[in-house]
């Protein structure tokens, strides 16, 4: 189902799903230069891939990882000038690329030129795609607008803004399948507690009384349902959010949260990890009769609820990949009520690897490349939500019957 390719400066995957082509690309500039030169190099490389794969003009969601906070407005100007009327929903994430470049770009294109796909560009924060009876709302770069600098207040404000953006497109907040929560100084102090703990308190309060995805979950599903999510640190002090919401208008689609048999569910963490536990699923699967799209949440070197391999970035990376492998396996999907579908690490189409310390990049990348093979990947410096965690990995996988039988 997945074809993976790479050349200088870019790796990309092509997934043919429900008669539409999806292209996942991760690009870094090929040469070091000015911000304008590096940005255009990466953007032109992505554009060339999309043209080659017959998906020109199809980029709907984009994340730009950048090194210097004071260059944000220049990057936005370059991005807007390059895309013009075809601007994707774009998040600007202040995480330095591990490559040493000024920026790196991750992009998702959905087969516009292959037919059957509708793309509606609302703003540079919202793009809506529709195909095969499913509508996807991509929201990016949602930031709070209130004066308060308290993490709790700013998190709630950003969630309210994101809910309004979804509602404007006819999708309730309860229909989100994936969120990204970026927090500056994530493990830093906030009063008598920690900034990430305050983000989790706000998320819990905002999610209170919500019932996520109830029209689409399997009958008889017991337990909590929350979106897949990544909560990761950035430079600066801001809260930045993104999400994907979904509207299904056809039969035969099941949406279900996946928990990991090797890990305690995050929402069941004890009070030692915060007054309010993190409310997210380890992954979210959108399953049809013959395939499943799996959004893998930010995953780290944790078994049960304890950090493993403290101080060893290589072993933490391997443990993290073991967790992802177990999470997306056919056995785990069957355990959750979807027998006959499954994925391996080779069925990942794209990953982001957040590395706490630049000096660990080489060993982390070596482990990832050995286990994952040729795969589009973004490596960025991002603080993880526990001081003893050195690596966090997220991604997208595509499960199929063939994987189960192989």
CA–CA gap between residue 72 and residue 70 (Å, rounded): 6
Cα 62 to Cα 104, 105, 107, 124, distances in angstroms: 11, 7, 4, 10
CA–CA gap between residue 164 and residue 166 (Å, rounded): 5
Q: How many CA atoms lie within 13 A of 388 on its CB side?
A: 11
Is residue 225 within 8 Å of residue 212, measured between CB atoms?
Answer: yes
Residue 71, burial from CB neighbour count under 10 angstroms (0-12, 13-18, 19+): middle
Q: Which is catalytic among the residues 53, 198, 392, 394?
A: 392
145 counts as catalytic? no
Q: Which residues are catalytic?
A: 392
């Amino acid at each position: 189902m997945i074809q993976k390719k790479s050349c200088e400066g870019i790796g990309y995957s092509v997934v043919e799903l429900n008669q539409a082509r999806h292209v996942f690309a991760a690009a870094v500039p090929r040469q070091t230069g000015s911000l304008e030169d590096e940005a255009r190099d990466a953007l032109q490389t992505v554009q060339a891939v999309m043209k080659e794969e017959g998906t020109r003009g199809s980029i709907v969601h984009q994340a730009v990882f950048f090194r210097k906070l004071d260059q944000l407005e220049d990057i936005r100007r370059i991005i807007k000038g390059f895309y013009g009327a075809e601007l994707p929903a774009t998040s600007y994430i202040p995480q330095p690329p591990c490559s040493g470049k000024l920026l790196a770009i991750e992009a998702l294109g959905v087969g516009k030129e292959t037919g059957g796909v509708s793309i509606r560009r609302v703003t540079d924060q919202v793009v809506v795609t529709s195909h095969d009876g499913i509508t996807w709302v991509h929201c990016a770069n949602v930031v709070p607008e209130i004066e308060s600098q308290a993490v709790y207040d700013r998190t709630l404000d950003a969630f309210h803004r994101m809910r309004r953006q979804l509602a404007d497109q006819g999708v309730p907040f309860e229909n989100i399948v994936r969120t990204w929560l970026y927090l500056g100084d994530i493990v830093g102090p906030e009063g008598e507690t920690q900034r990430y703990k305050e983000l989790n308190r706000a998320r819990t309060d905002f999610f209170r009384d919500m019932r996520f995805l109830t029209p689409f979950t399997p009958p008889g599903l017991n337990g909590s349902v929350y979106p897949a999510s990544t909560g990761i640190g950035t430079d600066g002090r801001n809260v930045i959010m993104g999400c994907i919401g979904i509207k299904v208008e056809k039969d035969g689609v099941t949406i279900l949260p996946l928990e990991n048999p090797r890990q305690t569910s995050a929402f069941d963490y004890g009070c030692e990890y915060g007054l309010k536990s993190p409310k997210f699923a380890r992954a979210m699967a959108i399953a049809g009769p013959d395939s499943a799209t799996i959004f893998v949440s930010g995953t780290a070197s944790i078994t049960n609820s304890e950090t493993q391999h403290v101080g060893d970035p290589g072993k933490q990376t391997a443990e993290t990949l073991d967790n992802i492998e177990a999470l997306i396996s056919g056995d785990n999907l069957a355990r959750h009520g979807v027998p006959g579908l499954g994925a391996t690490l080779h069925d990942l189409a794209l990953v982001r690897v957040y590395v706490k310390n630049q000096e660990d990049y080489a060993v982390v990348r070596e482990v990832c490349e050995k286990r994952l093979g040729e795969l589009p990947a973004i490596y960025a410096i991002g603080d993880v939500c526990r001081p003893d965690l050195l690596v966090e990995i997220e991604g997208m996988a595509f499960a199929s019957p063939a994987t189960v039988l192989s």
